């Protein structure tokens, strides 16, 4: 099954455009909420989504920042999807469309993933030290 996840950070924002885009992409069930992305524990709809997943399911978001606030959060969520044998797609980032969650959550993500994460204002990539 293809699931969608839509999120906005506050009650004054509207996630209708995200929901419509997810429907248009073929999502059969969409979880949506108005909740800060700061704490995964507070995101009840996200937690319902994760509990509903079965092997072979695919999670779709409109943009990565709707799913995770940092590259660490993204890595952890994609790891969880991999453990469940689920796929992942972001409609807004073509570089991760059609890749498995396992490929996206590898210990050494592709350079394109790091570069795209760095351009996202809500993503914080860990600093890397150069070693000769």
Burial 54-92 (b: 16+ CB within 10 A, else e): eeebbbbbbebbbbbbbbebbbebbbbbbebebbbbbbb
Residue 70 annotated to the active site = no
How far CA 15 is from CA of 21, 22, 24, 70, 126, in Å, comes to 10, 11, 14, 20, 29
Distance of CA 109 to the CA centre of its chain: 15
Catalytically active residues, by annotation: 9
């Amino acid at each position: 099954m293809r699931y969608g996840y839509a999120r906005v950070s506050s009650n004054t924002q509207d996630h209708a455009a995200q929901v419509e885009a997810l429907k248009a992409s073929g999502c059969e069930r969409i979880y949506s909420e108005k909740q800060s992305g700061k704490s995964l524990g507070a995101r009840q709809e996200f937690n319902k989504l994760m509990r509903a997943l079965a092997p072979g399911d695919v999670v779709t978001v409109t943009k990565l920042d709707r799913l995770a606030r940092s590259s660490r959060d993204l890595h952890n969520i994609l790891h969880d999807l991999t453990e469940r044998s689920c796929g992942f797609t972001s409609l807004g980032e073509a570089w991760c469309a059609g890749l498995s969650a396992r490929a996206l959550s590898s210990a050494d993500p592709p350079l394109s993933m790091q570069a795209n994460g760095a351009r996202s204002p809500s993503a914080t990539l860990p600093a890397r030290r150069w070693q000769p």
